[in-house]
Chains A and B, each alone.
Chain A
Amino acid sequence: MEFGLLQVWEGGWVSAIMRGAAITIAVAIAAMIGGFVVGIICGLIKWGRIRPLTYIVDGYTAVIRGVPELLIIYLLFFSSVEFVTRVATAFGYAGLADSGYAFVIAVIAIGAISGAYSTEVVRGALAAIPQGHIEAARALGLPGPRIFRRIIAPQMLRIAIPGMNNVWQVTIKDTALVSVVGLQELMRTAFIGANTTRHPFIFYLIAAVVYLAITLVSQTGIDQAERLLRLRSRK
């Protein structure tokens, strides 16, 4: 009674929280993949200082890294909600705005944030590749795409792993912010549960434990992968 653990069990909240956690993980993975693609493209632009584009990328990373994530989410959500509803109603889907739409906006917002941090990681990894390797490949007459595929990409990916691990940790935690725009992920589920049962303490505590479990489990997994890669490269 005091804690509300019973209500959590009897109200079917356990499965709701599990579903929320699954959506959180799905948003995080989708945003991470999107962000990594953005990061590789922008990282290459920044590394090569490709003239007009590099200024755009500099602006993008400076804004994302200096402005609160919440404000960026509000920008993307409020500016798109009007546009999307207009398009959806024009095509006769008035109810679209509350189904898959929140998920898409969440992935775009978190992906844009994660992309800016990935850009910095990729740029740093590219800068860490010895210049001599690329010059040697050029001297051998390898064409540009093959230099990237055989020399740059494999080294860059390996150097970038610890940094991408950090980005992943930040990305998981950032997904909690999209709850403010109504996507029913873990945080939103906890919020609804807290309001319905009037037991906020237990619900937010459960949410915190689930987030902690997600970050700790993925941390151990990544550590394991890193160790394997290091072993293989030492042979």
Chain B
Amino acid sequence: MDLDLIRQAVPVLLKGLNVTAMLTFLSVAIGFNLGLGLAIMRISSNRFLSGFAKGYSTVFRGTPLLVQIFLFYYGLGQLPLVKDNAALWWVVSDGARCAVLALALNTAAYTSEILRGGLMSVPAGLIEAAQACGMSRVLRFRRIEFPLAIRQALPAYGNELVLTVKGTSLASTITVLEVTGYAKRLMSQTYAVFEIFAIAGALYLVTNLILITLVRALERRLMRHQQR
């Protein structure tokens, strides 16, 4: 009985893991770049830009992800502006695309706070030295500020990655069948609630463990000047 259940549940949940991984990858790829942009806006001296970035992060960090997902999936489709725009409608009309949108915008807010902390920790003297060398703003950011900021921010960003993986489970509430979605379906079909939870939970734990290990390895590589 038990073995049968495992043989039945594992392939289904693994199929869900593919979707979970895809959702995570896309929303992190979009969210990191958005977050970087927001962090730069936040530390800029332009009052309008930094105000916008601050408001954005307050709103997205102050409301539950579930509300954001529902607002995008059920709410946006109602607006004529979205309905008449082919590109926007393409995003909003599908659960998975909408989940990626919500997750990316959500993680961008947290990422921007993490990167802002990293950017602010870069010593002013280094930036002044780069200026004195005649580096342009873009070059300075690419060679001095960003590499130093990302080292500082990496441990916190690893936590944010785990939170994003956990956040993808909410996509199951808007018809996307990923690990949690399949797990819920299996729970109500087989009544083997604990066994299904254990398998699905193990998949999430392994995914998060892999991510954290990768981040640690990257961190070690970036900090290799400090070893020895």
Contact = CB atoms under 8 A, between A and B. Distances in A.
Interface of A: 2, 62-63, 65-71, 74-75, 78-79, 82, 169, 172-177, 179-180, 187, 190-191, 194, 199-205, 207-208, 211-212, 215-216
18 contacts: A2-B80, A66-B166, A67-B200, A68-B169, A71-B169, A74-B180, A74-B187, A177-B64, A190-B67, A194-B70, A201-B71, A204-B70, A205-B75, A208-B59, A211-B64, A212-B58, A212-B59, A212-B62
B173 A74 contact: no
Contacts of B170: 68, 70, 177
A211 B166 CA distance: 20
B152 interface: no
B76 interface: yes
A200 B92 CA distance: 14
Interface of B: 58-59, 61-68, 70-71, 74-76, 78-80, 162, 165-170, 172-173, 179-180, 183-184, 187-188, 191, 193-194, 197, 200-201, 204-205, 208-209
Overall SS of chain A's interface: helix
A71 B172 CA distance: 10
Nearest to A172: B64
Contacts, number: 119
B74 A194 contact: yes
A205 B59 CA distance: 11
Contact of B74 (A74, A169, A204, A208): A204
A204 B64 contact: no
Contacts of B62: 211-212, 215-216
B89 to A, nearest CB: 15
Name, among A2, A172, A187, A208, the residue most crowded by chain B CB atoms within 10 Å (CB to CB). A208
A69 B188 CA distance: 18
Contacts of B162: 65-66
Contacts of A190: 67, 70
B136 to A, nearest CB: 39
A187 B197 contact: no
A33 to B, nearest CB: 20
A-B pairs, 6 with minimum CB distance: A68-B169, A201-B75, A176-B64, A200-B74, A204-B71, A173-B64
Contacts of B80: 2
B83 to A, nearest CB: 11
Contacts of B67: 176, 187, 190, 204, 207-208, 211
Contacts of A199: 78
Nearest to B166: A68
A78 B79 contact: no
Contacts of A173: 63-65
A175 B64 CA distance: 9
Contacts of A70: 169-170, 172-173, 180
Given A70-B170, A180-B173, A204-B71, A82 B191 contact: yes
Nearest to A74: B184
B20 to A, nearest CB: 9
